[in-house]
Amino acid sequence: MADKTCAHCKETKSVEQFTTNKQQKSGLCSYCKSCIRILRKTKWHLSPETIEKGKATAREKYRTKEGRRRGRNASYKSRYGFSLDAYEKMFNAQEGKCAMCRKPSDRFLVVDHDHVTDKVRALLCPRCNSFLGYIETDNLIIKQARSYLRKY
């Protein structure tokens, strides 16, 4: 069993005392659970004015095309572990078409990934991604859908 030192209280504790955080190299939050509880009640409790100021800054930050690109890049890196450039290469390799239905995208394609391994599979249109999400979690639904279609 591994140990980790809390960045706030500086105590070394077992890793079970830390929440998970995909953005950290260790995969764990920098602060232990008890410090997070304390910080939520005190330091992290923000006034409505401070929250509004932060929202205004975020809106301004992502208003430009380059700002939105940076935001998408950060999102892809934290969610799927790859950059926006990798997304664009995959998009071009698929010729801008959904990997499942092969229809061209009129807006965007979403990243399809295995929810167990987090491995990226391909880019899908939102419709195919939703469909895959339903059948991936419940294989019985395929049989029920076939039965329904035969009935009508």
pLDDT > 90 in the chain, percent? 39
> Do 99 and 64 share a domain, yes or no?
no
Contact present, 28 and 18 (Cβ < 8 Å): yes
What per-residue confidence (pLDDT) applies to 132?
87
> Do 12 and 28 share a domain, yes or no?
yes
Residue 90 lies in a domain: no
> Do 65 and 36 share a domain, yes or no?
no
Per residue in 23-82, pLDDT (tens digit) is 888 889 999 999 988 888 776 677 777 778 888 888 887 788 888 888 888 888 888 888
Supply the range of the domain harboring residue 73: 46-81
Contacts of 124 (CB under 8 A, 6+ apart): 98, 99, 100, 109, 110, 112, 132
Domain count, the chain: 3
Residue 86 lies in a domain: no
pLDDT > 70 in the chain, percent? 97
What per-residue confidence (pLDDT) applies to 43?
67
Residue 107 lies in a domain: yes
> Do 28 and 65 share a domain, yes or no?
no
Q: CATH code at 103?
A: 3.40.1800.10
> Do 35 and 51 share a domain, yes or no?
no
> Do 148 and 107 share a domain, yes or no?
yes
CA distance 76 to 100: 21
DSSP alpha helices (H): ranges in 30-83? 33-41, 48-61, 65-80
Range 128-134 average pLDDT: 87
**Hey, how many other C-beta atoms are within 10 angstroms of the C-beta on 83?**
14
Residue 102 lies in a domain: yes
Task: Give the global pTM.
Answer: 0.57
CA distance 135 to 35: 41
Contact present, 110 and 124 (Cβ < 8 Å): yes
> Do 111 and 151 share a domain, yes or no?
yes
What per-residue confidence (pLDDT) applies to 97?
95
> Do 50 and 35 share a domain, yes or no?
no
